[in-house]
Structure 1
């Protein structure tokens, strides 16, 4: 049995990185390839899975969806992101304190870190890899959009995958994310959450949603580590 007992799950977009420009460009290209029409309005993205964003975007743009739309859009979105690998490095940015928080938590005994994201796996790997944040993340075991499960279900999948891979029994799981929808997912899955106001939600909105700890940013590394260890020990 592994000595790992603490699992930290990270949301990616607007928690660790901001790649909004590339995301919008990739969605516009994927939409046009899938529907033959230019994208007029992109659905809200915070806290959502890729499939939710795709279906709402199609609806917002008056596209009557069929069974073929989602898989075709997923393929087009994967290819559009891959074509913008250099753009992720040029226009994307690591959010303040993200790299330092990952490194500090990696140094805690018994701690594993992976991602819990609404992004499809190839795009998630590009976001963290191209911006140099993959060193401390077990990306084989994360929870990724797969067209079927909610973020709450993906949290349990990520926990189970990581535990099985490392032959570990996680007695502590903490999710770090930035939206009220992520707070809701954590509550459903029974995991405490550290919410950071680095996305579209304010600190007061995150508190109102029921986040266990709310931080303005990840810039105070000691505060991030303390929040994770204290929540995990509950």
Structure 2
């Protein structure tokens, strides 16, 4: 009987906002609540068109520098009340995570693949979203952006990172991981390709088929 060298189960990282979840309705509600509470003008419709970077970058458009930290803390406090319930999963999100578990190992003996979430969102709020939507990734790491995400991906041994923003492409590059991009957020397909994405899918509904091919190549390469 032929034997093949073993490879550790595949670990795939996912971004959260506009990759696994459509956070626009919830974030809009949270910004509107913060605006009503503080009396500050926030164009919530505009803010949700540029999701991805850390919260403080957006707040800098609406508050003076000396208030950004306080407003960020307050936003995160009220966020669970306003933002969790209105936020749906992106099409294909549950299936994408399941595909990693099902296809992400070279052999059944190696165990299932690992799906992790690495996001710029406040980690407790990220976990609330995932729990509310019935998603149970193997790990969740929050409050990281772009290259800093790459450090967490590398620590978890991720060889693929899936995201919707050019910052996610930079994260994958930093980690030495394959960048799989979906133009479901503020960055279109051309922008993601120009940033260096290795693969651009229409959305996460395409991910299981892509992963099946990738897993098969991985088996062949390890033989």
Change (3 A) 1:189 1:208: same
Q: Does 1:105 align with 2:100?
A: yes
Q: Secondary structure at the match of 1:193?
A: strand
Q: Does 1:177 align with 2:163?
A: yes
Q: Give the distance between the partners of 1:202 and 1:231, measured in 2 at CA.
A: 29
Q: Does 1:93 align with 2:88?
A: yes
Deviations 1:169-223 (A, max 9, x none): x3x5210001222212322333221001222322222222211001001113432
Q: Give the distance between the partners of 1:150 and 1:218, measured in 2 at CA.
A: 21
Change (3 A) 1:15 1:40: closer
Task: Determine if contact 2:159/2:176 at 8 Å carries over to the other structure.
Answer: no
Deviation at 1:125, TM superposition (A): 1.1
- The answer for the alignment partner of 1:29 in structure 2 is 33
Q: Give the distance between the partners of 2:125 and 2:51, measured in 1 at CA.
A: 16
Change (3 A) 1:9 1:64: same
Deviation at 1:127, TM superposition (A): 1.7
**Structure 1: which 5+ residue stretches go unaligned?**
163-169
Task: Determine if contact 1:176/1:195 at 8 Å carries over to the other structure.
Answer: yes
> Aligned-pair RMSD on alpha carbons?
2.8
Query: Which structure has greater strand proportion?
Result: 1
After superposition, where does 1:1-234 map in structure 2 within 5 Å?
4-30=8-34, 33=37, 36-40=39-43, 43=47, 45-53=50-58, 57-58=59-60, 60-61=61-62, 63-66=63-66, 69-70=68-69, 72-84=70-82, 88-89=84-85, 91-107=86-102, 108-109=104-105, 111-134=113-136, 137-139=137-139, 142-145=140-143, 150-160=145-155, 162=156, 170=157, 173-226=159-212, 229=215
Deviation at 1:224, TM superposition (A): 3.3
TM-score when normalising by structure 2: 0.77
Q: Give the distance between the partners of 1:221 and 1:182, measured in 2 at CA.
A: 16
Q: Give the distance between the partners of 1:228 and 1:78, measured in 2 at CA.
A: 38
Number of positions where the alignment pairs a residue of Structure 1 with one of Structure 2: 205
Task: Determine if contact 2:147/2:167 at 8 Å carries over to the other structure.
Answer: no
Larger radius of gyration: 2
